[in-house]
Amino acid sequence: MSEKNFYFACNLPLQVYWDEDGKDARIVNYMPRKERICELKLSAVIADQSREEFFSEAASYFENLASLMRKAANGSNEVIYYHDQGM
């Protein structure tokens, strides 16, 4: 498993706060498997991805989570716990 896939398997960035110089950011990071939130530096988790790749991949996990939530809204009793469920 690559470093970037490992990050998204265990984490979901919820909010991003850019430093004044715009070169790095603080991420409010949710860890669903630990039911914990922490703050991380973007530079510590981005690995070899570009900023665009990282945030595009994060968006795909949010889109997956949104799809799971829509299924639940349609009467499904499926438990939705992980943002990468079914990916």
Backbone angles phi, psi at 19, to 5 degrees: -65, 165
Q: What is the pLDDT of residue 1?
A: 42
| Mean pLDDT (whole number) for 45-70 | 90
User: Between the CA atoms of 73, 79, 82 and 87, what dihedral angle is there, to the nearest 10 degrees?
Assistant: -70
Regarding predicted confidence, which is higher, 64 or 38? 38
In sequence order, the 6+-apart residues with CB closer than 8 A to the CB of 84 are: 8, 9, 61, 64
Give the integer Cα–Cα distance in Å for 14 and 86: 20
pTM, to two decimals: 0.80
